Structure 1
């Protein structure tokens, strides 16, 4: 066998070059020779993480930390992988321990900040990012991570400044150009159009660059009310983003059909877990879920837990399904034999310690509409609020938004007609849940909420069993972090500019209108 030290060095070089497969394959055979080598477990764990082999990543990073508990970077990467496999409570405990170690270099501080950001603890994350930036001021990615947490905290001027620093350091940071355009409404006197246009030649042949630059141009031209030119850039950008994603509407139809078949009758309340803590706010993305969450979480007895993946992960865990997808027909089919009480208890436990300090908390994951029936069975005392917005505005808002690229949940949104087809599936599934669980799901009309804020707010609080609190009318003063696409908008008082926005693009959305009408969706005049 070749010299183990040379093989370890070869694996390290491969990892540093981004060749995770080679690093993993070269390093793993060394384990029998050095089963207690912390650095070897660390390297294999990092390579496994790069390959998205999460069980192996958890196993080896945990072993590295156990073998060498004083290495802060080991603890940071272990916390990161725990966060990625949706074990936030354990991840935060590892973060707390890591922060007692030294030295803490810039990459380690950044990794710990990312874990805190994923847990919606942006105040703490900003502190760590600021320390990282001070240690490595020439790293654009550190400034950007700081900027994103500043946005979540509503510190928009500070975020703007950090992103300009990013672009000074790395002008072709395509995603930063888009974030900067979205940070505030652009004007003819103050915008980034010239800079964005100058970068277009550099984006040729680069779908990622085209996606971000054209969406930034869309946003800025829309702000200037040049709607035809805006939509042109939107269409080009989304077409570039769709390349290579392999979206299949037929697979989505199969998923929704399985959900409709999964439950034929509600379970007795005694079959579920008896807690009234959770308030689920769900619906199509970009339908007003963040607005409702801000209103209700302004109540003195309500904590905003953010967009939690906990219920989908708990459902997968308790179902016993071993398929790689979080929600596929096989996993859905396990609902017929699931222990509903165990599911409810597992979910609530998984939200600790972030929840439990106030009597109630909000879980605002829009796609929980897929699980609404399962939530109703597992948590019979939980409240479920579903947002409904004008179908055309909902579809356009999804199409115009760039969601998390690492998630396949939003792949429909790269094509306007696929977005319409997805909306039809959503509409039919919610009708199914409403028939199955009458009275369990309060549907809130976004336009009514905008026109009658106090009446709608009172209705929601009454449905949730909460007393009236005047603070709910001043949701824009809510200091809680916002880690969604609406992070900027919800810092403003109620506004109507998003109502009937699709009318600006009536000619460009004619095919979408026809699709929805043909599917039986009622369009509002």
Structure 2
């Protein structure tokens, strides 16, 4: 009964949340709290465009409520209205100068300059007390790190990253041995024996280490008229855990081991059901969940007609971009992100697993795409990507940055601009500060510069 309850919850979440939000919306309540709850419900299932007018109403009804303007600014940012987002974030911090989430969002919206930055205010706020959970220091420290990097002071930026992550890092339960065991269990899920699975050819899974180009590829594909992006759906891992009898423990090696005995047709069918109603309006859809790399073997078994795309990037650029990442949800699956050496260890696990999948999974189902190659030859690599996904050529895929649609990731601003090589080789600007990461990668057998 518990397994069935878990499956019902996972599969029906999208539809249930949308139905509840739709019902609240029909009440037409002129209450800012209700408007915020409706907006939040739609946001939870990635419908930020639908959430936007409700957040706007909440802000209009409560013009002195800072969180309403922060919610509005976030929805505007995710839907591409950066000028509106900036105005909303500024309004939020004007009402409540201590709203650290809005300060970080404001800094992330555009490049900071010597004449236009918030350093003095951010440093004063960071020095405040009452931060036992580490949330305030995490947000403000990342805002300061981003500001100093924009100003060309990588040493100060790196120092602020360390300070930003310190409190949350002390609480993170990173266990290098346990992580290695999980990655080893993931490798073992593919035994070379294909299964009938579920016959749908709708899904295109895009994964990789966070901040290595997964959102970029998602937007390229979503610019195609036959493709919808469902964002980071994150339902395949919990479905595996539920069918394996492990409840919600998605990354438990024991669950991955027990997955060999599950019904793969059922897994594939339940996954497709879980994508509704976000998917289904177009023949194909993209699920851009980075952690799905651990489940690539199981995906091929459950959905043998799906296409898988793994993003790879220069090892040191990958480690730095990952370390610079902020995860807002405390239950995220990346506890290694709070320490540079641990970030490098995590990259090494990813690197070796990606090498493994490339060597054993069917080449007509699993494609490896290099971030640097995509920047160097956008048209050629885009054509290779579309060919792999059995999608016809469409010029709009080259102008993905002009496409409408929601982008609810830290790359929301970058992917609204044309491709450029600005972030390639960024790690070299940090010099000896990244030596601990280089040491770990060498120890783990990852090829790195001498």
TM value normalised by structure 2: 0.94
Q: What does 1:33-48 correspond to in 2, within 5 Å?
A: none
Query: Which position in structure 2 is the counterpart of 1:491?
Result: 416
Query: Which position in structure 2 is the counterpart of 1:261?
Result: 188
Which of 239, 245, 250 is 1:314 aligned to? Answer: 239
State the shift of 1:496 in Å.
1.0
State the shift of 1:356 in Å.
1.2
Rounded Cα–Cα distance in structure 2 between residues aligned with 1:324 and 1:281: 22
Rounded Cα–Cα distance in structure 2 between residues aligned with 1:432 and 1:474: 33
State the shift of 1:435 in Å.
3.1
Number of residue-to-residue matches in the alignment: 444
CA contact (8 A) 1:412 1:419 kept: yes
Task: Structure 2 unaligned segments of length 5 or more: list them.
Answer: none
CA contact (8 A) 2:317 2:425 kept: yes
Which of 242, 245, 250 is 2:172 aligned to? Answer: 245
Query: Which position in structure 2 is the counterpart of 1:124?
Result: 50
Moved more, 236-245 or 480-489: 236-245
CA contact (8 A) 2:212 2:311 kept: yes
Whether 1:468 and 2:408 are equivalent positions in the alignment is no
3-state SS of 1:243 partner = helix
1:217-272 per-position Cα deviation (integer Å, ceiling 9, x unaligned): 1101100111111111112112233122222222212211222233322323xx21
Moved more, 421-430 or 476-485: 421-430
Whether 1:112 and 2:38 are equivalent positions in the alignment is yes
CA contact (8 A) 1:266 1:437 kept: no
Query: Which position in structure 2 is the counterpart of 1:441?
Result: 366
Query: Which position in structure 2 is the counterpart of 1:380?
Result: 304
Rounded Cα–Cα distance in structure 1 between residues aligned with 2:210 and 2:156: 25
Whether 1:177 and 2:103 are equivalent positions in the alignment is yes
Q: What does 1:16-27 correspond to in 2, within 5 Å?
A: none
Q: What does 1:279-290 correspond to in 2, within 5 Å?
A: 279-290=204-215
Rounded Cα–Cα distance in structure 2 between residues aligned with 1:198 and 1:247: 31
Q: What does 1:131-210 correspond to in 2, within 5 Å?
A: 131-203=57-129, 207-210=134-137
State the shift of 1:311 in Å.
1.3
Query: Which position in structure 2 is the counterpart of 1:4?
Result: none
* Cα pair distance change 1:186/1:83, threshold 3 Å: farther
Query: Which position in structure 1 is the counterpart of 2:153?
Result: 226
Whether 1:411 and 2:335 are equivalent positions in the alignment is yes
State the shift of 1:197 in Å.
2.4
Rounded Cα–Cα distance in structure 1 between residues aligned with 2:335 and 2:351: 18
- Comparing both chains, which one has the higher relative contact order based on Cα–Cα distances under 8 Å and sequence gaps of 6 or more? 2
Query: Which position in structure 1 is the counterpart of 2:23?
Result: 97
* Cα pair distance change 1:234/1:149, threshold 3 Å: same
Query: Which position in structure 2 is the counterpart of 1:392?
Result: 316
CA contact (8 A) 1:313 1:326 kept: yes
* Cα pair distance change 1:421/1:86, threshold 3 Å: farther
State the shift of 1:199 in Å.
2.4
TM value normalised by structure 1: 0.81
CA contact (8 A) 1:258 1:332 kept: yes
* Cα pair distance change 1:337/1:167, threshold 3 Å: same
RMSD: 2.0
Question: Larger radius of gyration, structure 1 or 2?
Answer: 1
Rounded Cα–Cα distance in structure 2 between residues aligned with 1:119 and 1:405: 15
Query: Which position in structure 2 is the counterpart of 1:215?
Result: 142
